Chain A
Amino acid sequence: MKRLSVSNRKMLSVILIGLVLWSLSNVKWNDPIFHPGGTDTFRDFLEASIRPELSAAFILLVIQSAWTTVTYAVAGLCLGMLVGIVSAMTALWAGRKEKSINRFYVAAIRIFLAFLRAVHELVWAWLFIIGFGLTPMAAILALAIPYGGILGRVYYDSLLIAPEPPIRALQLTGATDLKILIYGQLPLVFPNLVSYTFYRFECAIRAATVMGFVGIGGLGMQIELSLSDLLFNEVWTLLYAMIFLIVVVDVWSSVIRKTLTK
């Protein structure tokens, strides 16, 4: 695709900004954004944030639910990682030659990964619940499929842009392409792969939580139950538990990252 000339690009920017402004102007700003009863309820909800439910029995329930959610997230992520790393390495290895058959293999794998990504994990969860019932497998598979596609794509792209000089040096030691892939390219990008995978772990926890809303279990299910009973104090305990989980994963991720590059 040829790049547009500078004046054409400016014209395009003006048109796009105009479209954004026009669509914003279509929003009915006069109508109340909150519906009448809602403001009071929402205020109650916010007030409950400083008085989360802290009874021993409930805390125990929260811990159990958090554990369930994390389990789904870990299982789904690990399966996704497996799919991702195998696809990425296969695609990279297939693509090392310039022949058309090799390009076809790479394209096929990329399209496969795109298919996996296409459907959101929540939609998969819904479908699997219909098919398998309210089992953990539904949540785990629902996560594994799109995450396999996402991780595969990110792993492949990262491996592809590994710096050239070290790879050339390994070629000169008489190593085959496969050995260079696992001994050279992979270690070169490993810290980045780990970072991104940890980020996906966070996402998996969030996703597993939301899946709980439809009854699979874990924090999400408890949030839904407490919310429908309007027990905001309980909801807040569960939300704090979520925040705690995410923070722990984030800290863990930085520690690992530091160990890998120290």
Chain B
Amino acid sequence: MINRRKDYFIRVESVSKTYGNLPAIRPMSLYVGKGERVALLGPSGSGKTTLLHLIGGVLKPDSGHVLLDGKRILDLGPGMEIASLIGIMFQQLDLIIPATVAHNVLAGRLGYWSFWRTLGSLILGREKRLALGALERVGLRDRIDERVNNLSGGEQQRIAIARLMVQDPQIVIADEPVASLDPVRANDIMSLLHQMTRQSQKILICSIHTEHLAKKYFSRAIGIKNGVMLFDLDIADLTEDRIKSLYTMEDN
């Protein structure tokens, strides 16, 4: 049982972020331990994406700080340490379009490879076997040598997941990974993310707005509205009313 705040793997301490006059995240604290699977719920514009970006070190908070495994994430430069610590999957497709599937999947190792090994992979294509395992798990092994622009949007998303698998970080953050997918695909993607983080007490944090997927794959639900944390519950305690409270418009 974790008793002291210091022992949490992810410590988000009084972070806030304001854009111009708009407070995207009001001072907020959050503690996530190993093995937790957190669903971030809330309407668009509530600040979920900003919060995820703050945790992931993509944005610098205006106040407070984010500590991962005791280290300030913004102090960590490129390299093996941050690669093995945290991986982020964005909503927009961000693959290298003219390149092959193998090239894109192997990009997950860039944090670990030396410069020369990177060059070797680029020019000689030496590291392809590494990609095979991940591609097998996302069901795209036979497309390994195809160029990414030949793949559909759903397939490209699975390539992004394969890339994350190859990076194999302790914390996986995904921003609306299933927002535009049909129920079957959405379940497939969530199942992949689940598989990926199942072992070794990995942490998964996703922003998601599908209630049944949240209940199926997550252990904890955090509700954000207007940059404020409305609730932080065990997934079993997530009720209809709680979810509704996120989405009702209030007269302020």
Contact across chains for A169 and B78 when beta carbons are under 8 A apart: no
A-chain residues with CB within 8 Å of residue B19 when the two chains form the complex: none
Contact across chains for B97 and A183 when beta carbons are under 8 A apart: no
Contact across chains for B90 and A174 when beta carbons are under 8 A apart: no
Q: Does B147 contact A (CB under 8 A)?
A: yes
Contact across chains for B119 and A166 when beta carbons are under 8 A apart: no
13 A-B interface contacts by CB (under 8 A): A166-B96, A168-B58, A173-B87, A173-B108, A173-B109, A175-B111, A177-B78, A179-B118, A182-B122, A187-B96, A188-B99, A261-B147, A261-B149
Q: Does B88 contact A (CB under 8 A)?
A: yes
Closest residue to A176 on the B side, CB-wise?
A: B78
CB distance from A165 to the nearest CB of B (A): 4
B-chain residues with CB within 8 Å of residue A184 when the two chains form the complex: 96, 107
CA distance A175 to B79 in the complex (A): 6
Q: Does A251 contact B (CB under 8 A)?
A: no
Q: Give 16 A-B pairs besides A165-B94, A175-B107, A176-B79 with Cβ atoms closer than 8 angstroms.
A: A165-B90, A166-B95, A168-B58, A170-B107, A170-B110, A172-B88, A173-B87, A173-B108, A173-B167, A174-B110, A174-B111, A184-B107, A188-B98, A190-B98, A261-B147, A261-B149
Closest residue to B86 on the A side, CB-wise?
A: A172
A-chain residues with CB within 8 Å of residue B97 when the two chains form the complex: 166, 188
Q: Does B80 contact A (CB under 8 A)?
A: yes
Interfacial residues of chain B within 89-119, with CB under 8 A of chain A in the complex: 90, 92-99, 103, 107-113, 115, 118-119
A-chain residues with CB within 8 Å of residue B167 when the two chains form the complex: 173-174
Contact string against A for B residues 51-79, beta-carbon threshold 8 Å, 1 for contact and 0 otherwise? 00000101000000000000000000011
CA distance A188 to B58 in the complex (A): 22
Seen from chain B, the residues whose Cβ lies within 8 Å of a Cβ on chain A are 56, 58, 78-84, 86-88, 90, 92-99, 103, 107-113, 115, 118-119, 121-122, 147, 149-150, 160, 163, 167
Contact across chains for A172 and B58 when beta carbons are under 8 A apart: yes
CB distance from B77 to the nearest CB of A (A): 8
CA distance A187 to B98 in the complex (A): 7
CB distance from B66 to the nearest CB of A (A): 14
B78, B109, B121: which contacts A171 (Cβ < 8 A)? B78
CB distance from B106 to the nearest CB of A (A): 9
Contact across chains for B98 and A261 when beta carbons are under 8 A apart: yes
CA distance A190 to B122 in the complex (A): 12
Q: Does A52 contact B (CB under 8 A)?
A: no
A-chain residues with CB within 8 Å of residue B149 when the two chains form the complex: 261
Closest residue to B149 on the A side, CB-wise?
A: A261
Contact across chains for A179 and B108 when beta carbons are under 8 A apart: no
Contact across chains for A165 and B80 when beta carbons are under 8 A apart: no
A-chain residues with CB within 8 Å of residue B160 when the two chains form the complex: 169
Contact across chains for A183 and B98 when beta carbons are under 8 A apart: no
CA distance A262 to B146 in the complex (A): 8
CA distance A148 to B88 in the complex (A): 40
Contact across chains for A174 and B80 when beta carbons are under 8 A apart: yes
Interfacial residues of chain A within 169-212, with CB under 8 A of chain B in the complex: 169-180, 182-184, 187-188, 190-191
CA distance A182 to B150 in the complex (A): 23
Q: A169-B90, A170-B110 are in contact. Are A191 and B98 (CB under 8 A)?
A: yes
A173, A190, A260, A261: which contacts B110 (Cβ < 8 A)? A173
B84, B94, B111, B119: which contacts A182 (Cβ < 8 A)? B119
A-chain residues with CB within 8 Å of residue B109 when the two chains form the complex: 173
Contact across chains for A175 and B90 when beta carbons are under 8 A apart: no
Q: A173-B110, A174-B80, A183-B118 are in contact. Are A262 and B147 (CB under 8 A)?
A: yes
Contact across chains for A183 and B95 when beta carbons are under 8 A apart: no
CB distance from A258 to the nearest CB of B (A): 11
CB distance from A97 to the nearest CB of B (A): 13
A-chain residues with CB within 8 Å of residue B121 when the two chains form the complex: 183
Contact across chains for B111 and A173 when beta carbons are under 8 A apart: yes
Q: Determine which residue in B78, B80, B93, B115 has the highest number of CB atoms from chain A within 10 A of its CB, and name it.
A: B78
CB distance from A153 to the nearest CB of B (A): 22
CB distance from B209 to the nearest CB of A (A): 22
Contact across chains for A174 and B147 when beta carbons are under 8 A apart: no
Contact across chains for B96 and A188 when beta carbons are under 8 A apart: yes
B-chain residues with CB within 8 Å of residue A173 when the two chains form the complex: 83, 87, 107-111, 163, 167
Closest residue to B91 on the A side, CB-wise?
A: A165
CA distance A146 to B76 in the complex (A): 43
CB distance from B239 to the nearest CB of A (A): 35
A-chain residues with CB within 8 Å of residue B112 when the two chains form the complex: 174
Interfacial residues of chain A within 133-172, with CB under 8 A of chain B in the complex: 165-166, 168-172
Closest residue to B166 on the A side, CB-wise?
A: A173
Contact across chains for A182 and B107 when beta carbons are under 8 A apart: no
